[in-house]
Amino acid sequence: MKGRWIYVGLAAASIGLAAGLPLRILTGVAWLAVLGHILPKGSRKQPMVLILLMVLASVPIDSVTAGRWRIDAVRDGYQIVQRGLVRKIVYCDDSNVGLDDLVEISGPTAIGLSSYDNFEISTFSGWALGQNIRDVVQAQGYVIIRRGFSLRRMMDDRLASLGDGWARRMLFGQGQPLDGTASYLFTASGMHVAVLSAAIGRLLRRHMYAQRAWQWQFNIMMVMTIVFGFQPAFIRVMLGLLALWLTDDRRDRWGLVAYGYGLYRPYGVCSLSYLIPMGLGLLSLFSHRAGRLAGRLYVLIIELWLFGQADAVALAFFGLGRRVSAVLFMAAMAAAIWPTRLALDGLVTTLAAGLGRMPCCFIGGRPALWLLALMMVMLLEYAAAGRPRFLGALAAALLVNQCQALLSPLYTVTMLDVGQGDCTVVTSPFSDHALLIDTGGSRYKDVAGDILIPYLRSQGLASVEVIVSHDDYDHDGALKSLQQGFSVTEVHRGKPASIVFNGLTISDPLADHHFADANDDSQVSLFDIGGFVFLYLGDISADAEAALTSSYPRLRADIVKVAHHGSAASTSPQLLSHLRPRWALISAGRRNRYGHPDRQVVALLTGDGISVLNTQTDHAVRFSVSRLGMMYRTAAGLSGFCWSAR
C-alpha cells in the first residue's frame, strides 16, 4: 500500500514532540489505534512494530561514568564523550585531549542537566536530550588510553597547526558554544549538508546515468558521514538517499526519513535539525503554488515556537544563507586536505562582519499551542491552495502573537532565572512596556543577549524601564548589553522615593535612610497589585531590615524577594515575623561559590510555613494577578492559586 509510511513518519514526529516518556507512550498507543482503523489488515503489522520501537527508543538509558569513553566533540571549556549510544558532557580544562581520543574520566562529579530555564523557550536540557546527552559531569582530568586515529582527527590537527580556526568551527564546531539557538539557523538546521548533497548529485548526473550517479552520491555522503562522526544532518541525508532507492512515492520517502531520524535521535525531534528540514519536506507534499513563501513562513513559525523571536531579514535570505554555508563547508574541507594553506581567514572574517552589519527586523512572541496549531492549519491551506485569504488569516494570527502583551488583561511579576544575580520583569495589562527590577549580570555569560532580550521578545514586549537596586555586577551587569539590543526608555537609580510605572506605584520604604554599606543602601521596591503586596529587598543586611521593621510597624508583604540571594547576613527572624509573607523568592546560581542560599535561612523560611521558590530548583517564577486572585507558576512545573489577598 503506497503512502502508508507517511503515517509512520507522522507518528514518529508526534511521539518525538511529546514531552516525557508517559506522554510518548500515550501518543504511541493512540497512533496504534488510528493505524488499526485506516490501514488494511495485511499492512498493519510492520508500521505498528515500528511505532512500538520508537516508543521503546524513548526510554532513558542510564549509565555510569566509569570506563572508557571516546572524545566526540571539543568545545570551549567542555567536551562531549560517547560510548555506544550514550553521550555525556564533561566540563574539564584538560587541553591535551582531542577528537576520537579513548579516555577514562578522572575524578568525575555528576552535576545534572539543569541550566537556565525561563518558561517554554528552548533550554539547555532540551538541547542535550536532543543530542542523546543524558548527564553532565565535572572532571579533574582525563587518563588517555589511546590517541585518536581517524581522518577527522587528522583534518582537525592539520587545521589547528595551520591556525585555520574558521575551518575547525565549520567542520567540527571546535570552540563553539552550544548550537540550537536562532543565530545558528543555517548550520544548526543542517540544511547546508542537504544543499551540498544535492549539488554533488546534480554534478554526477551530468556525467553518468541516474542509477550510477545515485551510487556515487551515496558512497560520497557515506564517507563524509563516517568522517564527521555521524552528525544528525548527514544521517538525515543518508536516510533520504536510502528512501529514494526504496520507493518512488514522495509521501513514503518523507515518512521513512522522518521515522528513521526520529529513531536515531528520539529526543531530537524538537530541534532545528529535525523540525526545519522535515517540516519543509512535509510542506512540499502539500505545496503546489506557494512553496517558497510557505517555506519561509514555516521557518518563521518554528523559530517563534522554539526561541520566541525570529529575524525577518535572515528569513528572507534563508535560501541564500544555506547555500553560502554549504560553500563555506566545502571550502573548510578543502583547507583541511589541501597540500598548502588556504588563506581564507580574511575572507571569512569579512563575510561574517558583513553579515553582522545586516539590519535586523525581529518578530517576537512565542505562540500558545492553540495559536501554533491555527498557524499550521492556515499555512497548510495556503500551501495547498495558494489562496490569499489563508495567507491573510496566517498574517492575522502572527499579528495576534506579536501583540500578545497588548492583549493580556493581567499583571505579571516574573523572577527570571539568570544564575547568580537578580532580575524580575513586571508587566501591566494591555501594555507592551515592562519594568525590570535589576538586570542580572555575569562575566561568563551574556545575560542580556542570551536570556533577557529573548525572553522579553517572546512575551511580545517592545520596551522596558529599569530599576537598579545597586551597582553590584550581578544586579546591573547586563544593563549595557540590554540597552544596546533592546529599547530601554528609562533607568532609575539612587533610591527614588517612588516610581510610577503604567499606573502602578513602586515605592522605597527606606528612601530617606542612607547607609555606609553599599548593599544596605540598595533600592527597596514595594508595590501592591490587586491587594497582593510584593517586596524586593535588594542586598540589604539584617541591620537595614531592622530599620525597615522599626520604621514601618504595620508593614506586611505577601511575596518577599529575600535579600542578598538568601545570604546568612540577611532574612532575620524579626523581619519574617514582622512581614508574615506567604512566599519567599530566592534568586541564586546553581553551585555558586558563595554558598547561597544559606541552609539556615532556608530552614528558617520553611519552618515559618513560608513557601520558598528558588531559581536553583524551580527556575523562573511567574505570578499572574487578576480580579479573581493570583496564580503562580514555575518553569520547573509547580503551580498554585490564591483567591484573594489577606
Residue type, 105: I
d(CA 596, CA 225): 46
Confidence grade of residue 271 (pLDDT, cut at 50, 70, 90): confident
Q: How far is CA 551 from CA 315, 428, 546, 555, 579, in A?
A: 57, 30, 8, 9, 13
Whether the per-residue pLDDT at 312 is higher than 90: the answer is no
pLDDT of residue 185: 67
Among 332-336, 442-446, 597-601, top mean pLDDT goes to: 597-601
pLDDT of residue 180: 37
CB 166 within 8 A of CB 349: yes
Whether the per-residue pLDDT at 408 is higher than 90: the answer is yes
Window from 58-72, 109-123, 444-458, 476-490 with minimum mean pLDDT: 109-123
pLDDT of residue 124: 78
CB 357 within 8 A of CB 386: no
Contacts of 570 (CB under 8 A, 6+ apart): 537, 539, 540, 541, 542, 545, 562, 563, 564, 601
> Which cell numbers hold the place of 615?
531559581
Q: Peptide bond preceding 339: is omega within 30 degrees of 0, i.e. cis?
A: no
Q: Is the pTM of this model over 0.75?
A: yes
For the segment 407-431, the average pLDDT, to the nearest whole number, is 95
pLDDT of residue 183: 44
- Which residue has 552535576 as its cell numbers? 111
pLDDT of residue 285: 86
> Which cell numbers hold the place of 301?
513559525
Window from 48-52, 423-427, 428-432 with minimum mean pLDDT: 48-52
pLDDT in tens, 383-406: 888 788 899 999 999 999 999 999
d(CA 330, CA 338): 12
Greater confidence (140 vs 314) lies with: 140
- What DSSP string describes 58-97? TS-----S-SEEEEEEE-SSEEEEEETTEEEEEE---TT-
pLDDT in tens, 181-220: 434 566 677 888 999 999 999 999 998 998 999 999 999 9
- Which residue has 579533574 as its cell numbers? 140
For the segment 446-456, the average pLDDT, to the nearest whole number, is 92
Alpha carbon distance, N-terminus to C-terminus of the chain: 66
Whether the per-residue pLDDT at 544 is higher than 90: the answer is yes
pLDDT of residue 229: 83
With a pLDDT cut of 90, the percent of the chain lying above it is: 51
- What DSSP string describes 197-217? HHHHHHHHHTTS-HHHHHHHH
d(CA 261, CA 284): 19
pLDDT of residue 182: 39
The radius of gyration of the chain's CA atoms, rounded to the nearest angstrom, is 27
pLDDT of residue 645: 63
Confidence grade of residue 476 (pLDDT, cut at 50, 70, 90): very high
Confidence grade of residue 646 (pLDDT, cut at 50, 70, 90): low
Q: Judge residue 267's burial from the number of C-beta atoms within 10 Å of its C-beta, 0-12 exposed, 13-18 middle, 19 or more buried.
A: buried
Whether the per-residue pLDDT at 43 is higher than 80: the answer is no
For the segment 453-467, the average pLDDT, to the nearest whole number, is 95
Contacts of 318 (CB under 8 A, 6+ apart): 185, 186, 295, 296, 299
pLDDT of residue 201: 93
Q: Containing H/E element for 529?
A: strand 525-529
The three-state secondary structure class of 5 is helix
Per 3-state DSSP, the chain is made up of helix, strand and coil in percentages (nearest 5) of 45, 15, 35
For the segment 34-52, the average pLDDT, to the nearest whole number, is 83
Greater confidence (113 vs 337) lies with: 337
The three-state secondary structure class of 612 is strand
Whether the per-residue pLDDT at 238 is higher than 80: the answer is yes
pLDDT of residue 13: 92
pLDDT of residue 541: 94
pLDDT of residue 184: 56
Mean pLDDT (the chain, rounded): 88
Greater confidence (84 vs 257) lies with: 257
Among 72-86, 346-360, 587-601, top mean pLDDT goes to: 587-601
Q: Judge residue 2's burial from the number of C-beta atoms within 10 Å of its C-beta, 0-12 exposed, 13-18 middle, 19 or more buried.
A: exposed
d(CA 452, CA 458): 10
Neighbouring CB atoms inside 10 A of 99's CB total 21
The three-state secondary structure class of 186 is helix
pLDDT of residue 290: 57
pLDDT in tens, 144-161: 999 998 899 998 888 888
pLDDT of residue 319: 80
